[in-house]
Structure 1
Amino acid sequence: MNEQTLWASRAWLPGGWRESVLLEIDGLGRWQKVQPDTPLPEGVAPLAGPVLPGLVNAHSHAFQRAFAGLAERRETQDDDFWSWRDRMYRVAGAIDPAMLRAIAAQLYGELLRGGYTQVCEFHYVQHQPEGRPYPERHAMIQALVEAAAEVGIGLTVLPVLYERAGFALPELRPDQARFHLGAEDVWAAATAVQQQRHARLSAGVAIHSLRAARAESIHRLQALAEGFDGPIHIHVAEQPAEVRDCLAATGLRPVEWLAQQGLLDARWQLVHATHVNRAEILAVAHCGSTAVICPSTEANLGDGLTDLPAWLRAGVPLAIGSDSQVTRAWREELRWLDYGQRLSLKSRNVCAAPEAGQPATAERLWQSALDGGASAAGEASWGIHPGARADLLVVDLGDASLAGIPPGRLLDALVFSSPGRPWRDVMVAGDWVVREHQQRGAAERLGHFESVMQRLWAGSE
């Protein structure tokens, strides 16, 4: 990779917008020099608009892109997360590595256009449908790695510990057989990814949920990860039934159990964490863990709303994720992060904090997602500053949603004025993967994705 010099009229640096920013990229695709208030150097073409760092998508199930929009009818008296899950298993049970590669490549291209430059793949579809490993044991993981490399997005692979169907159900259901992975296998899969690590690829580990993993296996995985600086992700407290079942089985609420077991630290990423109380939030803050909120999926599934003001007051980093892929742009996720609270609390700009010098809702949410996303991806630093990976988004000021917006309110309009065009240009690790709204190979990937969808849904209305 060649060293590069860029120049932006405005850039979002630590602390907010700065003017006339010189940007130098080293041969490893990381920021080497970031210097505001610098005249445009001779021979350097200015970037076409203001720039922001790319954002980390902290929670993704790539295969569910093939299910987005196909669970929006109710044929029975009730419809909730659990009935949605049973229908989603049709896709989980049908895909093979080649299909997953096509689905993931289409998704990852969309995520880049939505402003994400790194995706954390919470991956639990491991084996053949009946549960036997593929001849190439990590074939499904490799399909994700190849899809991300083709598109150019950064990828954090999270193999998932998954052993049982529930607290009182010691075995997996037949339609869950291909998900099975024990602690040793999770660690082996993560290690295999780490061994092929490059500027855009890393690995962590994950636990599907407390209901899906035995306590001794969770502790074993924690022991294997002793000294490991990668992230540890877990679905937790997404559904009231999960909380009730955890109380019945352990006497403790899910986040409470994790804290009392001494498991939580700064590597832990608590995905959803919807049904938590104030004591649990304070425990998470004390341990330095991150909460990963997925607003569009949580709305789509009827999960409920977490106590976002309490998380923010406690100073817990809040990352965001696309999860089930019903939305694939961070602007919409951040918008609904605050809109959900407005509807619940009947108040506006719930996430602003003027008393703390943070009157702008979008800026507070954006900075939290930026910081929380770094932790979720296992990155020591993230953003436009020396040492961080050279990722950036170039804003298209020709977008009608931004017309006439004062420069100081640009981020407000990006989040709360919609719809808007995708980013004009996107860079990942010093490589332009979107230029003037165009993406290499997009039409071919869409064709492959459409072929997979036809195979999955042939005969459906």
Structure 2
Amino acid sequence: MTTIWAETALLPGGWASGVSIDIDADGWISAVQPNTTANGMRVPMLLPAPVNVHSHAFQRAMAGLTERRGPDPTDSFWTWRQLMFRFLDRLTPDHVEAITAFVQMEMLEAGYGASVEFHYLHHQPGGTPYDNIAEMSERVMAAANQTGMGLCLLPVHYQYGGCDQRDLTAGQIRFGNAFERFQTLHSVASCGISAASGDASIGVAPHSLRAVGIADLKAYGTAFPSGPIHMHLAEQWAEVEQVEQAWGARPVAWALDNMGLDARWCLIHCTQMTSTETVALARSGAVAGLCPMTESSLGDGIFDGVRWTDNSGAIAIGSDSNIRISLSEELRTLDYSQRLRDGTRAAFASHHKSTARRLFDEIVAGGAQASGRRTGRIEPGHWADMFALDTTSEHLWGRVRDTALDSWVFAGDDCLVTDVWSAGRHMVRGGEHARRAQIVAGYKRTIDSLKDAL
């Protein structure tokens, strides 16, 4: 058994002092006791580590390479996507494993305790499956074994190039599966997850309304009766217009009417919703998976976060394209987007909680729900997913409890994260991942081999 002692810790009932946390050999929190004398490993401030609920790990290797204007004067998400397709056509299983390990390492160093990988790069260039149809999924699992990161794998079903069921283009062909072959892929990947670490899990992800047929979309809840279900929804105006023209309803309205959305679902982005759609989707029980830095980078729009949370909507945070991996900056960007749109300050603050405290409480609960992972609480019976902040730093000096949390999110950065545990695995110490040198070396070799891809 491992014991951690925190001067201050954020427990389900609020802040507590002198907190002793026992972790059993399997990575579960077995006991939590406040008001104790120092024992075990000491940290200044301990918090539950959130789940990163939306990642396309391979895109991390593209970060910073798509900031030039293309030939189209209205360069947008859709032109960025063409560059992404060209890049991914070069990726091998070895590349994917090395990039994913690097991404997961950075997530852990930022304070995330687990990652949900929205994994859609399945096949060889040209679309032929690997001999092991779940080869690429198993490389994501291998990366998690190397980094010690908690993993929820979401194999992605991607069949069509649009709502009219057009064929996939050359750039998309590596994603493609008809429903029956996708079910086979998912079954093989499930066997791999069963053989992985005890806290690894699997869900499923129909990519989007434009990439999966109507009959299959309606069947997802019954075809996959357990585990989380994630889907991109209402991210871009062009998507909204395409769905409305083809199916006679806007994406959120169609999904609510046809897909049985409930607490198993996590809808990603949802940046193009009307106020009525926002309220209805919030009240469905589904989680909104928000990726504020990617949504800013791609010009997706601004999620209506204040209206959503005011209607009891659950939220969680993801890093999506992984252009930059920073938990504190995702939260800051989310709140600042509301301020810029509405001309307000402290948009998410309530009468009882500061801005960062309310956001943090929301995302640890929403991340646990969206991943199906027993996490988000420093409490017996939950995975020991936790991270420590350095309140002895000059950046947090003299700041306590909610004020320290606000200072980390709005005036600090992830360099203040000193230690991170994922299911009890102490993977970050002194701000650095235990296998950083090995993982970075593998990533650099991969970048060298891909340097001409863009």
Answer yes or no: same fold by TM over 0.5. Answer: yes
Tell me if 1:96 matches 2:92.
yes
Amino acid at match of 1:86: Q
Aligned ranges for residues 152-163 of structure 1 at < 5 Å?
152-163=148-159
Equivalent residue number for residue 215 of structure 1: 214
Structure 2 match to 1:61 = 56
Instruction: Give the distance between the partners of 2:162 and 2:409, measured in 1 at CA.
Output: 39
TM-score by length of 1: 0.94
Aligned to 2:344: 347
Q: Which residue does 1:31 correspond to in 2?
A: 29
Structure 2 residue aligned with 1:378 = 372
After superposing on structure 2, the runs of 4+ consecutive aligned residues of structure 1 that deviate more than 6 Å are none
> What is the TM-score normalised by the length of structure 2?
0.95
Q: Unpaired runs of 5+ in structure 2?
A: none
Q: Give the partner amino acid of 2:363.
A: A
Per-residue displacement from partner, 1:106-130 (whole Å, max 9, x unpaired)?
1111110011110000000000011
Alignment correspondent of 1:72:
67
Deviation string 1:74-128 (CA, Å, 9 cap, x unpaired) is: 1321210000011011222110110101101111111100111100000000000
Closer/same/farther in 2, CA of residues 117 and 211 from structure 1, 3 Å limit: same
* Offset from partner CA, 1:14-53 (integer Å, 9 cap, x none): 132111112111232111111222333xxx3342321111
**1:250 matched to 2:247:** yes
Q: Is the 8 A contact 2:302 2:338 kept in 1?
A: yes
Structure 2 distance, partners of 1:381, 1:142, is: 24
Q: What letter matches 1:294 in structure 2? A: C
Once the 2 structures are TM-superposed, how far is the Cα of residue 329 of structure 1 from its aligned partner? 1.6
Asked if the contact 1:393–1:426 (Cα under 8 Å) also holds between the matched residues in 2, the reply is yes
Paired residues for 1:139-218 under 5 Å: 139-184=135-180, 185-186=182-183, 187-218=186-217
1:407 shift after superposition: 4.3
Q: Distance in 1 between matches of 2:188 and 2:288?
A: 24
Q: Deviations over 1:313-364 (max 9, x none)?
A: 111110010000112121100000001111111111111122xx33x11011
Write the letter of the residue equivalent to 1:448: G
Distance 2:79 2:402 in 1: 45
Using the alignment, how far apart are the partners of 2:195 and 2:358 within structure 1?
A: 36
Q: Say if 2:362 is the partner of 1:364.
A: no
The residue aligned with 2:283 is 286
SS in 1 for 2:9: strand
Deviation at 1:367, TM superposition (A): 0.7
The residue correspondences of 1:290-301 to structure 2 (distance < 5 A) are: 290-301=287-298
**AA at the equivalent of 2:57:** A
How many Å separate the matches in 2 of 1:271 and 1:238? 8
Distance of 2:211 and 2:453 partners within structure 1 = 33
Q: Deviations over 1:282-306 (max 9, x none)?
A: 3223321100110000000011101
Paired residues for 1:268-283 under 5 Å:
268-283=265-280
Alignment partner, residue 17 of structure 2: 19
CA deviation after TM superposition for structure 1 residue 222, in Å: 2.5
1:123 to 101, 104, 119: 119
Work out whether 1:10 is the aligned partner of 2:8: yes
1:269 Cα shift? 0.3
Which segment is superposed worse, 259-268 or 438-447? 438-447
User: How many residues are treated as equivalent by the alignment?
Assistant: 450
Q: Distance in 2 between matches of 1:219 and 1:406?
A: 49
> What's the C-alpha RMSD, in Å, of the aligned pairs?
1.6
Tell me the residue number matched to 1:307.
304
Q: Please, which of 232, 244, 267 is the counterpart of residue 235 of structure 1? A: 232
Task: Rate the CA distance shift 1:375–1:459 in 2: closer, same or farther, 3 A.
Answer: closer
- Please say if residues 326 and 414 of structure 2, whose CA atoms lie closer than 8 Å, have aligned partners that are also in contact: no
In the alignment, the residues of structure 1 paired with residue 369 and residue 66 of structure 2 have an alpha-carbon distance, to the nearest angstrom, of: 32
Q: Does 1:47 align with 2:46?
A: no
